[in-house]
A and B are shown apart, each in its own frame.
Chain A
Amino acid sequence: MALSAVEHPADIERLRRQVARRHIAARTGLYLAAIGAASLAAGPFLWSAITAFKQNGDLYNAANNPFLYNRPATSDHVGYLFTDTTFPTFAWNTLWVGTLVVLITLALGLPAAYSLARLDRPWGTSMGVAIFLVYLVPPSLLFLPLSRIVAAAGLQDSTWSLVLVYPTITIPVSVWLLMGFLKGIPRDIEEQAMVDGYSRLGAFVRTVVPLAFPGIVAVVVFAFVLTASEFIYALAFISPTSEKVISTGVPTELVRGDVFFWQSLQAATVLVAVPIAIVFNLFLDRFIAGFTMGAVKG
């Protein structure tokens, strides 16, 4: 229809205006949809951020407009979070548990991924899928027996229990991601290294690992975020305050008696959410590439 109408100049003009109108409508719709999606997604955090700087008298008055500062904003509660609560302890625990778990994950996962992606065993692909499916086995199915295992190992109420158990969550995902990244490295390079006299192991350490470095960084980020987010194991294994991590400590400990101190609680939420989201965004494209490459036959 459009093609046959191009006969007369007037028709062309009409068509052009119609296309332009449609274009503007489509762009407006897109921007409205994008703004709507962003505010729905970030809304609760925005509310948290507003709350974090409110004075008690302002916050706990149901007649006040909750979105405005009816009294001057204060950073007292944010400071309180660091000086008078166990939040720094939780953050420190999360940090070192995450670091150790990431190291274990890389030490075990990188060779496994190389084995699956490159060493051309007949069982390579199906084994890769099997390992990935372990990621779908939920903590809620395993936390009870694991709590007995942890107790038997003498690690109950210790952060070390998480160092022991979290790699079961991070290794399956990381192996899959690393498989994807390793498949993206041309085989010629390590073959060249082997021609030059390196063994297979030497070629792996000397050429593949450095080349996969960007992928490894992505895996480090992903694995760390997974450990920082885990809740059930941390809640089931650990009860002393000093051993808790952020994800369990903040919801269970930042409560005075039955009173939540909301400003500090919300400050903690935003302080954790924003940095993780920033780092995640930087690596998002690489995550997608890794996950989809894992499925490609190498």
Chain B
Amino acid sequence: MARTAEQVEREATPTPARGPRRRLSDRDGFLAWAFLLPSVVYIVALVAVPFFLAIAFSFSDVTSGDPSFDWGGLRNYQRIFDDPVFWRSLRNTFVFTAVSMALIVVFGKILANILVADFRGKWLVRFLVLLPWTTPVALSTIAWLWLLDSIFSPIDWALRQAGFIDGNVYWLGRPGLAMASVIAVHVWRLVPLAAVIMMAGLVAIPREIDEAAQVDGAGFWRRMFEMKIPLTLPVVAVAALFGAIFTFTDMTVVYVLTRGGPTNSTQTLSSWAFFRGIEGGDVAQGAAVALFLFPLLLAAAIAILRAVRRMEVM
């Protein structure tokens, strides 16, 4: 940094900005590239290259024990297609994403409406509400792991006191409940993010429109459904897609909460790729599994771009 400052000092000696000898540091075209290139190179080297490497790995026999690259053809794909766990993971991934996305949009919308209102103690509510999103996922999932403990879950205790159950629910021990728990954690942690995105959209609605609708006699629900929701639809779409992408590609919740169990009933593509590729050491097969995330990601990214474009048109 100090050296740059010196250089700047030297260049700061009065020179006409538009002389015949324009310095490199004055040429926008050169600077634009020089400034941008380091970031682009970094991202290409550590995002684009690994991505193509993942595709290459999926056609190979690379393992963590034997990292030499040998062509394996479609063998990995054949093996995962024959594997019922893969199909289960694929299905779970879609179920988790679809259900979470719907719930995230509904609750996010409600939360956004609460957060734009004015009331006492708002800073405290905002702080508490944002906790699930700002906390590292791995840690907040630990809080849930304890909340859903097989013996000491306080939810079980409350249900026992109310007389609904006798023993324990075993939230994470039964396939259906384990799936519901994973979805609950996803919804819980992503609703604040969705709410913040939608809040930005709600604030952007010009006040006059709302007031005009009020003067015309439109009630709360009518203004909500006929004005606010249509106007903020692109923002809602963006929030929904972010929620979908983060649920779709996440493995932390599954890894910490259920480790894919019981008997792979909560396994997702990401977690399965991790268990195969890192813990099982079969890099090639893990890479092939993870690649199935890509088509949906691409679709989501295109959908986000379209929604954003619609916002700009408005």
Q: Indicate whether B73 reaches chain A with its CB closer than 8 angstroms.
A: no
Complexed CA–CA distance, A272 and B131 (Å) = 11
Complexed CA–CA distance, A254 and B34 (Å) = 46
> Within 8 Å CB of A114, what residues of B?
35
How far does the Cβ of B231 sit from chain A's closest Cβ, in whole Å?
15
Q: Indicate whether A235 reaches chain B with its CB closer than 8 angstroms.
A: yes
> Within 8 Å CB of A73, what residues of B?
none
Contact-residue size bin, chain B (C-beta under 8 Å from the other chain): 35 or more
> Within 8 Å CB of B131, what residues of A?
41-42, 45, 273-274, 277
Q: Indicate whether A266 reaches chain B with its CB closer than 8 angstroms.
A: yes
Of the listed stretches A8-16, A77-85, A197-205, A212-220, chain B binds A197-205
Known contacts: A37-B114, A111-B36, A138-B293. The answer to whether A145 contacts B146 by CB under 8 A is no
Q: Do A65 and B136 touch (CB < 8 A)?
A: no
Complexed CA–CA distance, A139 and B249 (Å) = 8
> Within 8 Å CB of A119, what residues of B?
28-29, 31-32, 35
Select A273's contact among B11, B135, B311, beta carbons within 8 Å.
Answer: B135
Complexed CA–CA distance, A35 and B125 (Å) = 7
Q: Do A272 and B287 touch (CB < 8 A)?
A: no
> Interface digits, A51-91 against B, CB 8 Å rule (1 contact, 0 not)?
10000000110100111000000000000000000000000
Select A232's contact among B53, B110, B252, beta carbons within 8 Å.
Answer: B252
Complexed CA–CA distance, A45 and B152 (Å) = 16
Known contacts: A168-B42, A229-B137. The answer to whether A141 contacts B128 by CB under 8 A is no
Q: Indicate whether B130 reaches chain A with its CB closer than 8 angstroms.
A: yes
Q: Do B8 and A277 touch (CB < 8 A)?
A: no
Complexed CA–CA distance, A21 and B290 (Å) = 57
Q: Indicate whether A24 reaches chain B with its CB closer than 8 angstroms.
A: no
Q: Indicate whether B15 reaches chain A with its CB closer than 8 angstroms.
A: yes
Complexed CA–CA distance, A112 and B42 (Å) = 12
Q: Do A44 and B140 touch (CB < 8 A)?
A: yes
> Within 8 Å CB of B157, what residues of A?
62, 65-66
> Within 8 Å CB of B144, what residues of A?
44
Q: Do A115 and B36 touch (CB < 8 A)?
A: yes
Select A250's contact among B64, B110, B142, beta carbons within 8 Å.
Answer: B142
Q: Do A167 and B31 touch (CB < 8 A)?
A: no
Q: Indicate whether B98 reaches chain A with its CB closer than 8 angstroms.
A: no
Q: Do B134 and A280 touch (CB < 8 A)?
A: yes
Give the one of B32, B123, B255 with max A CB within 10 A.
B32
> Within 8 Å CB of A138, what residues of B?
245, 248-250, 270, 293, 297
Q: Indicate whether A265 reaches chain B with its CB closer than 8 angstroms.
A: yes
Complexed CA–CA distance, A131 and B39 (Å) = 9
Q: Indicate whether A189 reaches chain B with its CB closer than 8 angstroms.
A: no
By secondary structure, the B interface counts as: helix
Q: Do B51 and A141 touch (CB < 8 A)?
A: yes
Q: Indicate whether B277 reaches chain A with its CB closer than 8 angstroms.
A: yes
Complexed CA–CA distance, A235 and B251 (Å) = 11
> Within 8 Å CB of A62, what residues of B?
151-152, 157
> Interface digits, B48-73 against A, CB 8 Å rule (1 contact, 0 not)?
01110110010000101001000000
Q: Do A37 and B111 touch (CB < 8 A)?
A: yes
Q: Do B134 and A225 touch (CB < 8 A)?
A: yes
Select B143's contact among A175, A266, A280, beta carbons within 8 Å.
Answer: A266
> Interface digits, A202-244 against B, CB 8 Å rule (1 contact, 0 not)?
1001100000000000000000010011011001100000000
Q: Do A145 and B50 touch (CB < 8 A)?
A: yes
Complexed CA–CA distance, A252 and B286 (Å) = 21
How far does the Cβ of A122 sit from chain B's closest Cβ, in whole Å?
10
Q: Indicate whether A149 reaches chain B with its CB closer than 8 angstroms.
A: yes
> Within 8 Å CB of B35, what residues of A?
111-112, 114-115, 119
How far does the Cβ of A247 sit from chain B's closest Cβ, in whole Å?
4
A-B contact pairs, 18 of them (CB 8 A): A30-B119, A33-B114, A37-B111, A44-B140, A111-B36, A136-B301, A140-B250, A141-B294, A148-B283, A167-B46, A199-B17, A225-B134, A250-B139, A266-B143, A266-B146, A269-B140, A269-B142, A292-B200
- Contacts A34-B119, A38-B128, A231-B255 supplied; 12 other A-B pairs, CB < 8 Å: A2-B217, A42-B129, A59-B152, A136-B297, A138-B245, A138-B249, A140-B250, A143-B277, A171-B39, A199-B8, A225-B134, A262-B146
Per CB-CB distance, the 4 closest pairs between chain A and chain B, nearest first, are A138-B249, A111-B35, A140-B270, A145-B53
